Structure 1
Amino acid sequence: MPDPSPPQRPAALPTLTGMRFLAALLVFFSHVSAAWMFTDAQFNEGFDKYAGTLGAIGVSFFFTLSGFVLTWSARDGDRPLLFWRRRLAKIYPTHVLTWTAGLVLTLLAGQAVTTGEVLPGLFLVNAWVPEYLVIRGTNGAAWSLGVELVFYLCFPLLLALVKRIRAEHLWKWAGAVVLGALLVPLVAETLLPQETMPGLKYGWWQYWFVYFVPVNRMYEFVLGILLARIVMSGRWIPVNRAVAALTLIPGYLLTVFVPTSYGLVLPLLVPLGLIVASGAQADIDGRTGLLGGRAMVWLGEVSFAFYMLHMVVAGPGPAKFGSGHQWGAVEAVSRIGGWFLLTLALAWVLYRTVELPVMRRWSRPRARRVTAGTAAAPVADPVPLTGSPAD
Structure 2
Amino acid sequence: MAAPDGSSSLSQLTALRFVAAFAVLLSHLDFLGDGSGRVSGWLYETLLRQGYCGVSFFYILSGFILSHAYGDRLRQGSVTLRSYMMSRIFRIAPLHWLMALLFIGWLALAGDMPRPGTILLNLGLMHAWVPDPSIHYALNGPSWSLSDELAFYAAFPWLCRMQTRSLGLYLSGGLFLITVWALIMARQGGYSATEEWVFYVLPPVRLIDFIVGMLLYRAWRSGYGHTLSGTGAEVAVVIAVPAAMIGFSLMALPMPLRWQLAYLPIMAAAVLIFAHGRGAVSRALRHPWMILLGQSSFALYLTHRPIITLVHRLWGGDPAHYLSMSLSLPPLCVGVSLMIFLFLERPMMARLRHGAWAHDRKRGRIKAWRPS
TM range (shorter): 0.7 to 0.9
Query: Which TM-score applies when normalising by structure 2?
Result: 0.84
Residue in structure 2 matching 1:354, options 335, 344, 352: 344
Q: Retained in 1: the 8 A contact 2:47–2:242?
A: no
The alpha-carbon deviation at position 123 of structure 1 amounts to 1.4
> In 2, Cα distance between the equivalents of 1:245 and 1:319?
31
Residue in structure 2 matching 1:29, options 1, 26, 30: 26
Superposed CA offset, 1:141-194 (max 9, x none):
100000000010011111111xx33xxx69xx6597367424225225548996
| Change in CA separation of 1:71 and 1:10 when aligned onto 2, cut-off 3 Å | farther
**Is residue 145 of structure 1 aligned with residue 138 of structure 2?**
no
Q: Equivalent residue for 1:379?
A: 367
| Change in CA separation of 1:79 and 1:368 when aligned onto 2, cut-off 3 Å | closer
Q: Retained in 1: the 8 A contact 2:186–2:257?
A: no
The alpha-carbon deviation at position 120 of structure 1 amounts to 1.9
Aligned-pair Cα RMSD in Å: 3.2
Superposed CA offset, 1:102-123 (max 9, x none):
2222333454543344432121
Q: Retained in 2: the 8 A contact 1:188–1:205?
A: no
One-letter amino acid matched to 2:285 = L
| Change in CA separation of 1:178 and 1:332 when aligned onto 2, cut-off 3 Å | farther
Q: Equivalent residue for 2:220?
A: 231
**Is residue 318 of structure 1 aligned with residue 311 of structure 2?**
yes
> In 2, Cα distance between the equivalents of 1:202 and 1:186?
18
> In 2, Cα distance between the equivalents of 1:203 and 1:345?
36
Residue in structure 2 matching 1:365, options 317, 340, 357: 357
> In 1, Cα distance between the equivalents of 2:169 and 2:150?
25
Residue in structure 2 matching 1:341, options 331, 341, 344: 331
| Change in CA separation of 1:334 and 1:223 when aligned onto 2, cut-off 3 Å | same
Q: Paired residues, what number?
A: 357
> In 2, Cα distance between the equivalents of 1:43 and 1:116?
42
**1 or 2, which has the higher helix percentage?**
2
Residue in structure 1 matching 2:245, options 239, 252, 261: 252
One-letter amino acid matched to 2:275 = A
- The more displaced of 178-187 and 83-92 is 178-187
The alpha-carbon deviation at position 7 of structure 1 amounts to 2.2
**Is residue 276 of structure 1 aligned with residue 271 of structure 2?**
yes
| Change in CA separation of 1:52 and 1:249 when aligned onto 2, cut-off 3 Å | closer
Question: Runs of 5+ in structure 2 lacking a partner?
Answer: none
Identity between Structure 1 and Structure 2 (%): 25
SS of the residue corresponding to residue 280 of structure 1 reads helix
Q: Equivalent residue for 1:387?
A: none
Q: Equivalent residue for 1:20?
A: 17
Q: Retained in 1: the 8 A contact 2:53–2:260?
A: yes
> In 1, Cα distance between the equivalents of 2:338 and 2:64?
25
Q: Which has the higher contact order (CA 8 A, sep 6+)?
A: 1
Q: Retained in 2: the 8 A contact 1:185–1:206?
A: no
One-letter amino acid matched to 1:25 = F
Query: Which TM-score applies when normalising by structure 1?
Result: 0.80
Q: Retained in 2: the 8 A contact 1:38–1:327?
A: no
| Change in CA separation of 1:53 and 1:264 when aligned onto 2, cut-off 3 Å | farther
One-letter amino acid matched to 1:362 = L
Q: Retained in 1: the 8 A contact 2:118–2:138?
A: yes
> In 1, Cα distance between the equivalents of 2:365 and 2:361?
8
